[in-house]
Amino acid sequence: MNEPGLMLYHQQDYAERAQIYAPWCQLQAVTQAPAVTAPALYLDREGMWLCMPGYPNPFQPSHNELLRRAQSSGARTELARACGSAISDLHILDACAGFGSDGLLLAQLGAKVCMVERQRLVWILLQERARHFSGAQAICGEAAEVLARPAAGTQAASWDVILLDPMFPPRGKKALPNRGLQHLRELTESAANGDDELILLGLALEKTAGRVVVKRRLKDAQLLPADFQIKGKSIRFDIYRGQMQAS
């Protein structure tokens, strides 16, 4: 059944594509992105957009920015180095995918990436982005459930890396993040739960013989003492050796 109140507006020419999401959304044909009083989606020739209350223009995660990151830094990015040296050979589970900025970058670099997102509206945006990448798959579900009872087709036994990027908790009067992160925070929980993060890390460690990579702000405390770290200017990756016995 579609979720009450979740609207997907679409241009008439894209009614067939919009119909894919009819099980979860109410569909309505429009000529342009509407003003909304609740978060909604809009589909046109340029893809899927997020419409948010109080914003005159819809938002779409930047595909060009993703390509720029892949072309300018590629395997030299902190993320790629945290995952391992041979990115194109890796099967990666991005367990907290959001809009897919990290998972799709890894797919662009050649990895096979399964991205998990629990918020239905965010997942639809992610699904539309992922279909342009042959190595990317997006599923809607709870990360802990996927790790505890892997969903069909996710090939848990072959996960070389499990990437965890829980939403950073808000910080007092610091400057607002970019628009995409603002919307992601508005659509998901406003504060991270340290106990839930520890449970997720524990499950991840049990489900790979490779690496578990946890993305954190540079000065944030570690969830558990990491085996090693890779640091950038404002974030770091805490890297753990998986505990699953290799077959």
Tokens of 144: 């802990």
The pLDDT of residue 174 is 58
- Asked if 225 and 109 sit in the same domain, the reply is yes
In a domain, 2, yes or no: no
How many other CB atoms are there within 10 angstroms of residue 227's CB atom?
11
Residue 73 lies in a domain: yes
Q: What is the pLDDT at residue 151? A: 46
> What is the domain range of residue 36?
7-51
Judgement on whether residues 93 and 184 belong to the same structural domain of the protein: yes
Report the alpha-carbon distance of residue 10 to residue 82 in Å, rounded.
39
Does one domain contain both 116 and 190?
yes
Total tally of structural domains belonging to the chain: 2
* pLDDT attached to residue 157: 53
CATH number at residue 156: 3.40.50.150
Residues 67, 146: one domain?
Answer: yes
Residues 197 and 173 reside in one and the same domain:
yes
Q: Is residue 195 part of a domain?
A: yes
Locus of tokens 């890796």: 90
Residues 33 and 68 in one domain: no
Identify whether residues 140 and 45 lie together within a single domain.
no
Q: Three-class SS of residue 33?
A: coil
User: Nearest-CA neighbor of 93 among 76, 110, 78, 111?
Assistant: 111
Per-residue DSSP letters for 170-239? P-TTPPP--HHHHHHHHHS-SS--HHHHHHHHHHHHHT-SSEEEEEEETTSPPSS--SEEEE-SSEEEEE
Q: Which two tokens stand for residue 126?
A: 């992610």
pLDDT of residue 72: 77
pTM: 0.89
* pLDDT of the chain, 247 residues: tens digit per residue: 455 679 999 999 999 999 999 999 999 999 999 999 999 999 999 999 999 999 999 999 988 887 787 777 766 889 999 999 788 889 999 999 999 999 999 999 999 999 999 999 999 999 999 998 989 999 999 998 888 865 455 545 568 999 999 876 666 555 556 888 889 888 876 444 555 889 999 999 999 999 999 999 999 999 999 999 999 999 999 999 998 866 5
Q: Tell me what pLDDT residue 242 has.
A: 93
Residue 123 placed within a domain: yes
Residue with tokens 């996927």: 146
The DSSP 8-state label assigned to residue 48 in this structure reads E
117 and 209: one domain? yes
Are residues 171 and 216 both part of a single domain?
Answer: yes
27 and 131 in a single domain? The answer is no
What is the pLDDT, as a whole number, of residue 119? Answer: 93
- Give the pLDDT score at 71: 79
Q: Are 34 and 134 within one domain?
A: no
